[in-house]
Amino acid sequence: MKCPLILLMLCSLLPACSFPEANFWHENPGAKTVALPAKIIDRVIIRGSAVSIYRNPFTSTHKGFSMTRARGEIIADPLLSLIPDLDPVYRYAHSIDDALDRIGMPAPVPGTVEYLIDGEDFFGDVLTEIEDAERRIDTRVFIFDNDDVAVDFADVLKRKAEKVRCRILLDEMGSIAAWSAAPATGDLKPADFQSDMVKYLKQDSRIQVRKSLNPWLVADHSKLITIDEKLAYLGGMNIGREYRYEWHDMMIKVTGPVVKALQNDFNRAWRLQGVWGDWSIPFYYKKAYRKEKQPGEIDIRVLKTSASRRDIERSILTAIRMSRKRVYLQNSYFTSRELERELIAARRRGVDVRMVFPEDNDSKLLKSKNQTVAKNLVEAGVKVYMYQPFTHVKAVVVDDWACVGSANFDALSFRINEELNIAFSDRAAVQKLVRDLFVKDFGKSVILTRGDVKTWGPKPIDLVADQL
């Protein structure tokens, strides 16, 4: 009995940051700054945790219990998988959205969606909208890097802050870790980097900056930019050179009432990271928004992962269990055993299941785990595509339903970290995602055969990866 308890305690101490993206944990970070471990220990683990517990006693404690419970569930997964799923939702629901309503997912909100695939599309679009902003610009990211792209972005916001209100909420652990890693491209010198982007953003500026602190090393992995409460961007991209030039990634631009729903989420997160922390929540109020659709709008669900919510995991698994025609997935990190089982079960029912994952990875540990999952899926008859060299896209299509946003397909994004996704069932919008993203990436990728994955398989280290 002692071994499982000891293992649970050790796993509860694993870093709950988005492991692959936090360059502190990378094998070859190409450091730009020195003494990063000391910074993490001092600013995040010691001072950050102490401030969090003092300022946010309720939410910090809740995160700690939630994280420990999630770690235990992952360890117990082999036993839990033997328990049959008797939920009547899957017998009585007549559609994916009906099933999501039955399991208590957030009600849809009207809005529109537009896909911005890769850095050129996203950064070009968002910088144009920032220049046109009239009242406010709110930015919430896991990483606000300190390279040339991030500095240029910061300079645009600094100039704009002279006329409109600008607020930036960045994750402290994710950003500090990123400041240590040199980008793969660009002929940059040490003088081209800022040592501390929080100080740089505040210097000679009217920008308001707050850091999402990391009690129990739980991270805010969400990405959201809202402008004038009229439009918003969410998805996989942070602010930095990797996202602008190096990685394949996607953001979604939304308009309509759903923007106010997203703004409400930003406002609450902003309050929690203020000086009054939990004590300010009684004064927080949600802004009202229109509930009825207008021509051109679709129903959009805002899904989150937090200490008290697992909307994203539950919605994706429910949709796959309801699948009849197709399941297409693309992500950089696959560690969820339950997701793997549902994909194999769907394939056995005759569903067209296809997965896109990167050939390379920014984490050797996660690359190994991806290969194990790929091997299992290929042997089950799933079509597995290896994208070269790296994709950071986070998207799922099930029949005529889609879910996109910041969440990876791993324990951290499904059960521990703060995440933000949207989901919708509009056939035209989903088909456009299939055409513009998945079909193109199937063509760019290498489809794997049993021979390709013959030497891949479970390794002891995969048990660690299950926790990430």
Domains and CATH numbers, the chain: 83-107+298-465 (3.30.870.10)
What does the alpha-carbon distance between residue 240 and residue 224 come to, in Å, rounded to a whole number?
Answer: 15
Nearest alpha-carbon partner for 224 in 183, 267, 257: 267
More confident residue, 142 or 70: 142
Confidence of residue 235 (pLDDT cuts 50, 70, 90): very high
What is the pLDDT, as a whole number, of residue 320?
Answer: 96
At 44 the pLDDT is 76
Mean per-residue pLDDT, 222-250: 97
Q: Please indicate whether residue 346 or residue 18 has the higher confidence score (pLDDT).
A: 346
pLDDT tens for 51-94 read 888 899 999 998 888 988 888 887 777 665 655 554 667 667 78
Per-residue pLDDT for 33 more than 50? no
* HEC-encoded secondary structure of the chain: CHHHHHHHHHHHCCCECCCCCCHHHCCCCCECCCCHHHHHHHHHHHHHHHHHHHHCHHHHHHHHHHHHHHHHHHHCHHHHCCCCCCCCHHHHCCCHHHHHHHCCCCCCEEEEEEEEECHHHHHHHHHHHHHHCCCEEEEEECCECCCHHHHHHHHHHHHHCCCCEEEEEEEHHHHHHHCCECCCCCCCCHHHCCCCHHHHHHCCCCCEEEEECCHHHECECCCEEEECCCEEEEECCCECHHHHHHCECEEEEEECCHHHHHHHHHHHHHHHCCCCHHHHHHHCCCCCCCCCCCCCCEEEEEEEEECCEEHHHHHHHHHHHHCCCEEEEECCCECCHHHHHHHHHHHHCCCEEEEEEECCCCCHHHHHHHHHHHHHHHHCCCEEEEECCCECCCEEEECCEEEEECCCECHHHHHHCEEEEEEECCHHHHHHHHHHHHHHHHHHCEECCCCCCCCCCCCCCHHHHCCC
Q: In the predicted model, what is the mean pLDDT of residues 300-305?
A: 98
Q: Does residue 276 have a pLDDT over 50?
A: yes
Q: What is the pLDDT of residue 17?
A: 41
- Average model confidence (pLDDT) for the chain? 88
Is the bond preceding residue 389 a cis peptide, omega within 30 degrees? Answer: yes
Supply the pTM of this predicted model: 0.90
Q: Using an 8 Å Cβ cutoff, are 317 and 338 in contact?
A: yes
